[in-house]
Amino acid sequence: MSFGDGDPPSGTHGEAKYPSFGPSNPTQSSTATGNGESSIEAIAHKIQESLSLSKRHRFWETQPVGQFKDLGDASLPEGSIEPPSPLSEVKSDPYPLPALYEWTTCDIDDDATAAEIYSLLSNNYVEDDDNMFRFNYSKEFLLWALRPPGYFKSWHIGVRVKSSKKLVGFITGIPARIRASTVVVRMAEVNFLCVHKKLRSKRLAPVLIKEVTRRVHREDTWQAAYTAGVVLPTPISTCQYWHRSLNPKKLIEVGFSRLGARMTMSRTIRLYKLPPSPVIPGFRKMEIRDVPAVTSLLRVYLSKFAVAPDLDEKDVAHWLLPRENVVDSFLVKNPETHEITDFCSFYTLPSLILNNANYTNLKAAYSFYNVATKTPLLQLMNDALIVAKQKDYDVFNALDVMENESFLKELKFGPGDGMLHYYLYNYRLRHALKPSELGLVLL
């Protein structure tokens, strides 16, 4: 999710959440490569120094989130910042909208509504800083992302123009159980905040944020998790996207990346060449019968991290069973003992290629959850790259969360030049987390 100020910066519509395509800019990426508490403090101080008092985060300074001024204050307790209110005190009516607009609850199961959401997002949602690429969520992806076990239709919120019924605003929440340290907390994962480009001056984004918060509270949920590409008060962790070329010729031709110094196209293609098929014995696609074993693997693995989802078998079945062009999952089953020992997964999020005569679509895989117990993680992820290449993906993206940093450079991933910030709403951690302490991937 990209929350915003009363007058939201561009990132609150998603633009800054784009995974920093292209080769890294060392002057930018070096500012947060440590990604511990000191780097977040440095970012916070830099932001505060660059803003006049009148332009600081007025909205967020009134919200139950970690504040920059509290960084390093060990006396503040970990956990909820504000206690829950009695449900009877939560507003029963939606927040007022400008006179020309009205609320709608978006039924993602309805084909016409799903098409409207797709159209709004594909034309107005996340773009890179240079306006060369824009996320292109498929209907199948949205159905997967917005309908996990126990989801609330009321948390899929739209704004329509009263006269034409055109959908011009959107925000969503889904329920999740997220463990922070040793405490499992019911949260909302908030995402897809999008306002039509022509209406960005109408102050619809803050009202969408307030409304999703109200509806989440109505279901007795008081915490939320979200991400943004901009620095707001206050990130629990700051992570970096890394990119691994699978189709380097196309990536260079569309401007996603560029030829390295003293490199020719043919040498670049050879550099990124992969074996034709996976090489780990027992490596195969996940099936429904594997859900209990994969759940067990994941629960043990995710327990190592300071913040991670608390997944049961229903969650694993929903999020990780393969769906064509949505999510792919593979595992390693020991040919002799028949034990499932390792697991890897990635989801599909293509982008429209803007203003290019030869290409319209960039097929991107995003690393999801991976567990290596018997096979080295490097080898497991190399096989993940191989199957992604077999499936005609152009690029494989990964955040430096969990243990991902251990394979990124070796497998020829290159760092992007932007950061992704993770936030918790109404929940304080005592210390900011390194990416390697974070076991959570938000779509």
pLDDT digits 0-9 by tens, 22-76: 443 322 333 333 344 445 555 555 444 444 433 456 777 778 888 777 777 777 8
The confidence score (pLDDT) of residue 331 equals: 98
Q: Which of 246, 408, 420, 443 is catalytic?
A: 443
- The answer to the question of residue 438 being in a domain is no
Computed over every residue of the chain, the mean pLDDT equals 87
Higher-pLDDT residue of 376, 35: 376
Q: How confident is the model at residue 230 (pLDDT cuts 50, 70, 90)?
A: confident
Give the best-scoring range by mean pLDDT among 8-17, 113-122, 141-150.
Answer: 141-150
**Do residues 152 and 64 share a domain?**
yes
**Do residues 66 and 28 share a domain?**
yes
**Do residues 38 and 24 share a domain?**
yes
Q: Both tokens of residue 179? A: 């463990």
The confidence score (pLDDT) of residue 41 equals: 54
**Do residues 313 and 165 share a domain?**
no
pLDDT digits 0-9 by tens, 302-353: 999 999 999 999 999 999 999 999 999 999 999 999 999 999 999 999 998 9
- The answer to the question of residue 120 being in a domain is yes
Is 443 labeled as catalytic in the residue annotation? yes
Q: What is the mean pLDDT of residues 175-195?
A: 96
- The answer to the question of residue 429 being in a domain is no
Higher-pLDDT residue of 385, 202: 385
The confidence score (pLDDT) of residue 75 equals: 76
Q: Among 238, 263, 284, identify where a domain stops.
A: 238
The confidence score (pLDDT) of residue 234 equals: 87
The confidence score (pLDDT) of residue 164 equals: 97
**Do residues 84 and 173 share a domain?**
yes
Q: What is the mean pLDDT of residues 14-23?
A: 44
At residue 155, does pLDDT exceed 70?
Answer: yes
- The answer to the question of residue 425 being in a domain is no
At residue 126, does pLDDT exceed 80?
Answer: no
Share of the chain above pLDDT 90, in %: 71
Q: What is the mean pLDDT of residues 425-437?
A: 93
The confidence score (pLDDT) of residue 9 equals: 30
Higher-pLDDT residue of 116, 234: 116
**CATH code for position 362:** 3.40.630.170
Higher-pLDDT residue of 204, 103: 103
Domain, as residue range, for 306: 240-419
**Do residues 224 and 252 share a domain?**
no
Q: How many domains does the chain have?
A: 2
Closest CA to 151 of 105, 91, 209: 105
**Do residues 261 and 227 share a domain?**
no
Q: Of the given ranges (4-18, 64-78, 108-122, 211-225), which has the lowest mean pLDDT?
A: 4-18
**Do residues 405 and 259 share a domain?**
yes
At residue 18, does pLDDT exceed 80?
Answer: no
The confidence score (pLDDT) of residue 419 equals: 87
The confidence score (pLDDT) of residue 40 equals: 55
